[in-house]
Copies of this chain bind each other. A is one copy, B any other.
Amino acid sequence: MQIRVIPGSNAAIYRQIADQIRRAVVSGQLAVGDPLPSVRQLAKELVVNPNTVAKAYAELVRDGVLETQAGRGAFIAKRRDVFTKTERLRRLDAALDTVISEALTLGFDRDETLERLRLKLDRLDVAKP
């Protein structure tokens, strides 16, 4: 898989990396057990500091997306539910609040925003696991 970073973006670099890996996992591009590039290698590719990649990997480990083994590398973990229903909703809401604020700022209305999300979700074609 190909990870890319947009330096001028609002999103922190480590967030961009983590999000792209999340997307690759939910879209099936990365499967359980698949190895990820090493921290140093990916850092070199993206021309960012290894600490930044490590931060992204650490977040994904905490959220149960990755497993790391010192000396061996990082691998896609078996999917498991880490957060309570309430916590999951809290996190989803926080992400949605950001989108709503951005849509509002850009002048999109309710229906346009919903329609655009629907379109993008349908493109991914992700089914409930």
B126 touches A104 (CB 8 A): yes
Instruction: With A23-B100, A26-B104, A116-B96 as known contacts, state yes or no: A109 contacts B127, CB within 8 Å.
Output: yes
| Docked CA distance A8–B90 (Å) | 14
A85-129 residues at the B interface, CB under 8 angstroms? 86-89, 91-111, 113-114, 116-118, 120-122, 124, 126-129
> Measured between C-beta atoms, what is the minimum distance from A94 to chain B in Å?
5
> Measured between C-beta atoms, what is the minimum distance from A2 to chain B in Å?
15
**A residues with CB within 8 A of B:** 7-12, 15, 18-20, 22-23, 25-26, 62-65, 67, 69-70, 72, 80-84, 86-89, 91-111, 113-114, 116-118, 120-122, 124, 126-129
